[in-house]
Chain A
């Protein structure tokens, strides 16, 4: 491993950084380009009203036909309930208390700091998914935000250059290369996941700088703090989402799988 010529790595990184900087604030405009191809297909646009509403139905699947493989449903239901309790009994009260004492500006800054730290995860997975443009935006964001943005507590890249992060993780990378989701697993504390995404947590773990903190207590404290801080910024969202659920477990499961499929498509 140590034999990899240093110079070539250096120059590669330099090249990427250079590209990112040269394209600078203009890069984000390319986001809209993706839509152009679709908009060009004007010929499909002859306004032909649908004969009846069920013509629209084709794109939806019947729940029965979309059999999700769910061998762990018994355990998953229990774990969903446990996580729900953890949220309402532990996480939410803690986060609410924290929210009452810490000003929002500080909590937002902490959130940005942790997000900046996770750049290696996004950067690497963008590269693995052959998305060099997004990877270079991630790199540019990191360099810019870690310096001008003072260790990532601020996000001048998004604010002044509209360079938005491109969240990608290893589960998505696996999906990108055609790995199916496997069965659904509700992870303790972490919530809905599936076999593919759970496996994906391992490489991502090694890409997180926080995983290299030596003292395990500090590592745990960091994780808890990050979660409490994050929750304090989103109190009410889970509650609101829950209102749409007839039965919580299948609702969360289907929403998770739908969202992941969409993320992988992008």
Chain B
């Protein structure tokens, strides 16, 4: 009896840490990567283009870009694309996503990033962070799932607005009224999607 109990106890003890590792590990991944990104962003001495390349390389391992590309079109549209279209869509979309993410981190943070306790959502983990600047705080939530190679981000929410959800509705809008070529055309426009007004390209 005692023997059995000790085995049970041993099993339990060994099981607990591995279970607890999940969300903590996910948070740790986000924290180390984003902190490193913040250091690069605040480093004025770096050339912007070079800095961006470094940052993108830094966060790439924790983002599941191919999945994000698929999710942004969804079951409804993704399977309709031929392999060539899938490839060019993914390339353009991922590029857009990276640029946009970088810019958001840069614009909304001039002090620091705070990391909250990870939340378990079924099989997924949400890592809440707060981008602190001098007069505002923006909530940025990293939604992660366990891929074969470890925790990966499949969506980011900024102030409660899901990036993937927003792209989905928009891409669905384009594809309902046009073709994949129209969408690719829009994605190709450098820096921003083509909106009617030419006067506000911004910097």
Contacts and interface: CB of A to CB of B under 8 A. Distances in A.
A265 to B, nearest CB: 8
Interface in A236-263: 236-237, 239-240, 242-248, 250-251, 254-255, 258-259, 261-263
Interface stretch (B39-47, B52-60, B83-91, B171-179): B171-179
Interface in A95-114: 104, 108, 111-112
A217 interface: no
Interface residues of A, number: 54
B169 A240 contact: no
A226 B152 CA distance: 42
Contacts, number: 157
Contacts of A111: 135
Given A236-B202, A255-B166, A258-B161, A60 B74 contact: yes
Nearest to A84: B197
Interface in B135-170: 135-137, 145-148, 154, 157, 159-170
Contact of A62 (B70, B76, B122, B148): B76
A108 B147 contact: no
Given A32-B116, A108-B134, A111-B135, A245 B165 contact: no
Given A32-B117, A57-B74, A236-B107, A47 B170 contact: no
A54 B75 contact: yes
A234 B108 CA distance: 9
Contacts of A88: 199-200
Interface residues of B, number: 64
A243 B104 CA distance: 11
Contact of A245 (B66, B124, B193, B199): B193
B4 interface: no
B35 to A, nearest CB: 19
Contacts of A240: 103-104, 107, 202
Contacts of B136: 234
A44 interface: yes
A4 interface: no
Secondary structure of the A side of the interface? helix
A62 B191 CA distance: 26
Contacts of B161: 255, 258-259, 262
Contact of B74 (A62, A247, A259, A261): A62
B23 A45 contact: yes
A36 interface: yes
Given A62-B172, A108-B134, A250-B170, A53 B116 contact: no
B135 A112 contact: yes
Contact of A242 (B134, B169, B200): B200
Contacts of B32: none
Interface string B107-123: 11000000011111111
A100 B165 CA distance: 38
B186 interface: yes
B100 to A, nearest CB: 6
A264 to B, nearest CB: 10
Nearest to B183: A246
B108 to A, nearest CB: 8
Given A246-B173, A261-B160, A49 B148 contact: yes
A7 interface: no
Contacts of A239: 200, 202-203
Interface in B59-109: 66-67, 70-71, 74-76, 100, 103-104, 107-108
A168 B100 CA distance: 29
B166 A54 contact: no
A55 to B, nearest CB: 8
Given A32-B116, A35-B119, A259-B160, 10 more contacts: A35-B117, A42-B20, A57-B75, A61-B165, A62-B74, A62-B172, A63-B168, A164-B137, A258-B165, A262-B157
16 contacts: A32-B116, A35-B119, A42-B19, A43-B19, A54-B75, A57-B71, A61-B168, A66-B169, A239-B202, A243-B103, A243-B191, A244-B100, A244-B167, A254-B165, A258-B160, A259-B159
Interface of B: 16, 19-20, 22-23, 66-67, 70-71, 74-76, 100, 103-104, 107-108, 116-124, 128, 134-137, 145-148, 154, 157, 159-174, 176, 186, 191-193, 195, 197, 199-200, 202-203
